[in-house]
């Protein structure tokens, strides 16, 4: 029994370590840096000097926007810096820098040796990109008010401020936990075994598993908090945001940090939505609502007004 426990601990540690490594790994060992420059060029910095003839051959490079691999962007010219480590690719058209670009560099030749083919992701200002995912999931594309997901839990737990905040916090914890696990399983188990058609089944299992785990651990570690969460912890399973986020991040091929940001954003967005709604509903308790509208009907109208207000954020671009 004790041995089993130790092995299990080691297996978990190994999993977490692998996940962190995969999250921070650089994309190709021979390439130091890729970034946008100006409106229509990309700079690639190599770890060592590359060969002249290879670097100046346009057919060695291909670039496309991440969502449309079929549309190749036309490269106008390639120039190599005097120290032969930096290549500047100039494109015919302006690049849409909000989108991540994939740049493939074929058979890199450096000092007579081949360094293999590299597929690079070019993104504008990485931390800004992460931040824009966070704000995008939290406010601009709020899951409740712009995508209309998770409504039954939203109306069920937004009657009082205290329950709303409790539910929001529980939800954020569970969604971060569940979506990181499903990201890991999707990238390292489902995709290599070509089982991505089973993603919905696996993700639902993972969500209920993480809810069960949080429930078991919290019951022992912090009984007061457990009592405060009460029935909401189990209600998280019935929330469809918690299954939408893993599906979204599998669809968009996000990496570990981007998935983390999407999950935190979705959780905090739900917390904000619940808090706003509970404030209004507490006020509605003491106001004179027509008899037919009392209770849920007026709550739906208020939610619709919130959705209208949140439409004001739509199309906003950060960074």
Partner 1 sequence: MDPVLIKLALGGLVVLGCIGIFFGIGLGLAANKFAVKINPKVEEVLEALAGAQ
Q: Which residues bind partner 1 (CB under 8 A)?
A: 4-5, 8, 11-12, 185, 189, 193-195, 198, 201-202, 205, 209, 212-213, 216-217, 219-221, 223
Closer to partner 1 by Cβ: residue 185 or 256: 185
Closer to partner 1 by Cβ: residue 62 or 173: 173
CA proximity to 253, closest of 69, 62, 33, 95: 69
Structure token pair of residue 91: 């494109």
Taking the complex as a whole, how short is the minimal distance between the CB of residue 203 and partner 1, in angstroms?
12
Neighbouring CB atoms inside 10 A of 246's CB total 28
Taking the complex as a whole, how short is the minimal distance between the CB of residue 13 and partner 1, in angstroms?
13
106, 88 in Cβ contact below 8 A? Answer: no
> Could you give the CA distance from residue 174 to residue 273 in angstroms, rounded to a whole number?
17
Taking the complex as a whole, how short is the minimal distance between the CB of residue 190 and partner 1, in angstroms?
8
CA proximity to 75, closest of 48, 51, 105, 32: 105
Burial of 24 (0-12, 13-18, 19+ CB in 10 A): exposed
Closer to partner 1 by Cβ: residue 129 or 184: 184
Taking the complex as a whole, how short is the minimal distance between the CB of residue 144 and partner 1, in angstroms?
29
Closer to partner 1 by Cβ: residue 225 or 309: 225
Closer to partner 1 by Cβ: residue 179 or 278: 179
Taking the complex as a whole, how short is the minimal distance between the CB of residue 178 and partner 1, in angstroms?
12
> To the nearest 5 percent, what fractions of the chain are helix, strand and coil?
55, 15, 30
């Amino acid at each position: 029994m004790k041995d089993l426990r130790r092995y299990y601990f080691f297996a978990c540690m190994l999993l977490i370590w692998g996940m962190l490594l995969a999250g921070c790994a650089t994309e190709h060992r021979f390439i130091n840096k890729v970034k946008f420059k100006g409106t229509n060029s990309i700079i690639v910095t190599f770890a060592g000097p590359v060969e002249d003839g290879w670097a100046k051959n346009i057919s060695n490079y291909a670039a496309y926007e991440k969502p449309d691999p079929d549309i190749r962007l036309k490269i106008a010219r390639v120039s190599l810096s005097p120290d032969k480590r930096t290549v500047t690719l100039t494109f015919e058209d302006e690049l849409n820098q909000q989108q991540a670009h994939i740049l493939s560099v074929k058979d890199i030749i450096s000092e007579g040796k081949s360094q293999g083919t590299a597929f690079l992701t070019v993104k504008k200002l990485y931390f800004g990109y992460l931040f824009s995912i966070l704000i995008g999931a939290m406010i601009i594309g709020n899951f409740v008010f712009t995508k209309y997901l998770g409504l039954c839990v939203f109306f069920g737990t937004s009657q009082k401020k205290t329950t709303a905040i409790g539910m929001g916090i529980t939800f954020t914890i569970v969604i971060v936990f569940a979506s990181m696990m499903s990201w890991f399983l999707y990238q390292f188990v489902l995709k290599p075994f070509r089982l991505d058609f089973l993603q919905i089944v696996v993700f639902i299992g993972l969500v209920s598993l993480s809810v069960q785990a949080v429930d078991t651990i919290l019951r022992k570690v912090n009984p007061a908090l457990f009592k405060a969460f009460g029935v909401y912890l189990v209600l998280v399973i019935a929330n469809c945001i918690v299954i939408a986020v893993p599906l979204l991040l599998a669809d968009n091929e996000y990496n570990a940090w981007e998935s983390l940001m999407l999950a935190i954003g979705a959780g905090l967005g739900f917390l904000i939505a619940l808090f706003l709604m509970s404030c209004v509903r507490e006020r509605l308790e003491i106001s004179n609502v027509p008899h037919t509208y009392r209770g849920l009907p007026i709550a739906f109208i208020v939610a619709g007004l919130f959705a209208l207000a949140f439409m004001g954020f739509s199309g906003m671009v950060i960074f």
